Amino acid sequence: MSVLRLVFLGSDSIALPLLDWLAGAGSDVAEVVGVFTQPDRPAGRGQQVVANEIKHWALGRGLPVHQPEKIDGAAQADLVALRPDVALVMAYGHILPDPFIAAPRLGTLNLHTSLLPRYRGASPIQTAVAGGERETGVSLMRIVRQLDAGPVADVERVAITSLDTALSIEAKLSEACVPLLARTLPRLARGELEFVEQ
């Protein structure tokens, strides 16, 4: 089984455990060959322009980093130049156009922090906790044009206890991405990963 060339698209530190796994134990399955993340933004009291933690992670490993303001033809050319087998998205913050989604050989997948089709949209963790749910999880899905509506390959479930907050659940979901990818990426590489419509 050949190692997948993977481009990661994300802007939030929730993805750091999965990136660390890809750079370590997961490197026999997939190699991160480039990262797309949001442009550096002003932050804090002084409104100094700072890079997010995903950019820091990538630069620390000598990876090419792309920070387009919008996903246009130039961004797609940057993606294609990386020759990705698959693109993996988690908390990126950009709507991706169809040609960009279709550019990787095996398509573009998304890690969404709910048990789809429940809690689509921007704040699934907070909504699950506020709604009194007993469990949530991470879904690995194909990206389609409609928001969080693509077919799902697999999920990793996470219990919600009475002591949990949105912050503690986010940390659990962050870690839950690792076993989910450890199961699914080898199957994707072998052409055996099946997706089921929501």
pLDDT tens figures, 131-160: 888 999 999 999 987 777 889 999 999 999
Which stretches within the chain are classed as H helix?
A: 16-23, 53-60, 73-81, 98-102, 124-130, 166-189
User: Is the distance from CB of 58 to CB of 37 less than 8 angstroms?
Assistant: yes
Structure tokens given for 22: 């890809």
- Compute the distance between CA of residue 12 and CA of residue 180 in angstroms, rounded to an integer: 18
* Greater model confidence, 5 or 118: 5
pLDDT tens figures, 1-16: 689 999 999 999 999 9
**pLDDT interval class at 173 (50, 70, 90):** very high
- Compute the distance between CA of residue 21 and CA of residue 89 in angstroms, rounded to an integer: 15
